Amino acid sequence: MSVTYTCDPGYYLVGNAVVFCKASGRWSQPIPRCEGASVVCPLGSEHRGHPDGCGCGAPTRLHFAELNEEHKNEIDFSVGKTVQYTCRPGYTKHPGMSPTITCLESGVWSEALEFCKRKQCSHPGEPVNGKIIFLTDLLLLDEFYFGTSVTYTCNRGYPLHGEPSIYCTTRDGKNGEWSGPPPQCGGRVVCARVNTRVQSSRPYCFITSCKC
């Protein structure tokens, strides 16, 4: 036989919430007690058994960083608890900024500063007789962030040699670099006239064509 204890609103449980009767006729644990909270927790937060303030819910999800492994399975985020993040691939830590947030007395997490900045690549360059015609990010041509791809085209009459698109990536996890060199635009194609003689009702007929 087991019993489960809960506390009234405004009170928190100290001790084990579940106790059971042993074969000896005694309870497995001392009966827990309910103590009054020293603060009124806002909606969406809990006291979590800490008389010094309310607890916080799950830490903030960030697009540029992920929660460190040691915090992912934690459920007890009391006031003053600090959790740490690691920059996601494609981002690097901003010098002088702490990658942490702290549970405040109000039951919410402190504001997460943008402590990870997106990696960048230098301008990939444009081939002679060619140019960049498309970027995946709507940014200025002097800003090429991690994940950005560029597509090239060649002027008419100049065939493209190489990959038409390259993208900004990283190999060492620290610096941005392009997935490959920009393509080249080859020499202008010049067509030579070829005269073809065919049999017709007339003695001979010459057809002029362009063979590249």
Rounded CA separation 84/67 (Å): 6
**What pLDDT does residue 9 have?**
63
Residue 178 has pLDDT above 80, yes or no: yes
Q: What is the pLDDT of residues 15-71, one digit of tens each?
A: 777 777 777 777 777 887 786 654 455 555 555 444 445 688 889 899 999 999 988
The DSSP code sequence of 147-198 is T-EEEEEE-TT--EES-SEEEEEESSSSSEEESSPPPEE-PPP-PEEEEEEE
Domain extents in the chain:
2-36, 65-117, 120-185
% of the chain at pLDDT higher than 90 = 27
Looking at the predicted structure, is the pLDDT value of residue 122 above 60?
Answer: yes
CATH no. for 120-185: 2.10.70.10
CATH of 65-117, one of 3.40.50.1820, 3.40.50.300, 2.10.70.10, 2.40.30.10: 2.10.70.10
User: pLDDT tens-digit profile of 135-149?
Assistant: 766 555 567 888 889
